[in-house]
Chains A and B, each alone.
Chain A
Amino acid sequence: GAVVSQHPSRVICKSGTSVKIECRSLDFQATTMFWYRQFPKQSLMLMATSNEGSKATYEQGVEKDKFLINHASLTLSTLTVTSAHPEDSSFYICSGQKTASFNEQFFGPGTRLTVL
């Protein structure tokens, strides 16, 4: 199998607070994990690529100090949205890539973030 979980599934927070989202690969080891953001009726946009034990690589236009990524183990990556604002409200999805499979990514169920 290739199951990825995310927690929480939904979160509502006040503007200015920080929110942490966890991404876990449940039945495989993920050397690389990816974080995406998806706005309503739009496609997935890659935010950053995270390799276990090293710093994340951020896509152009994504603020690394605002979206903190930690990939401390082969089964867990976290995304922290710091000082969240209403424009950060979105659907955040992570994916994991099996160590032995270079091209396929397996996605989590997503986290709906609403910033008031």
Chain B
Amino acid sequence: GQQLNQSPQSMFIQEGEDVSMNCTSSSIFNTWLWYKQDPGEGPVLLIALYKAGELTSNGRLTAQFGITRKDSFLNISASIPSDVGIYFCAGRRVDTGTASKLTFGTGTRLQVTL
């Protein structure tokens, strides 16, 4: 199935640094979701976006729904060791009609060093 292009694929940053990752597609989406997955666990929802241009924060996390509806980004400010994990974007494409299934990004693996 189709996947969203997510970049970067992996990041190694120092504690306290800010992180930015994005997700792009050739298709138009009407919903963007950002998830974090720890090893051996299921993904946990971080932020949900529903409108083009929408900017939403959740603590140190900020995400935006791109104005073209084909992209989204996630920023993490002042990273801490527990931010380590894999971050996935997921979206619901406009052309899925009434189907509610999600398309997932390829993931960004974040490592935080002390």
Measured CB to CB, the residues of A under 8 A from B are: 4, 6, 32, 34, 42-46, 49, 59-60, 91, 93, 95, 97, 102-110, 112
Contacts and interface: CB of A to CB of B under 8 A. Distances in A.
B100 A4 contact: no
A6 B40 CA distance: 13
B41 A110 contact: yes
Interface stretch (B14-22, B44-52, B60-68, B72-80): B44-52
Nearest to B92: A103
Given A103-B48, A103-B92, A43 B106 contact: yes
Nearest to A57: B99
Give chain B's interface secondary structure class: loop
A112 B105 contact: no
Interface of B: 1, 3, 31, 33, 35, 40-45, 48, 50, 88, 90, 92, 99-102, 104-107
A43 B102 contact: no
A105 B31 CA distance: 12
Given A93-B42, A103-B92, A107-B44, A46 B102 contact: yes
A105 B40 CA distance: 18
Given A43-B3, A103-B31, A34 B42 contact: no
A45 B42 CA distance: 13
A49 B101 contact: yes
Contacts of B43: 44, 93, 107
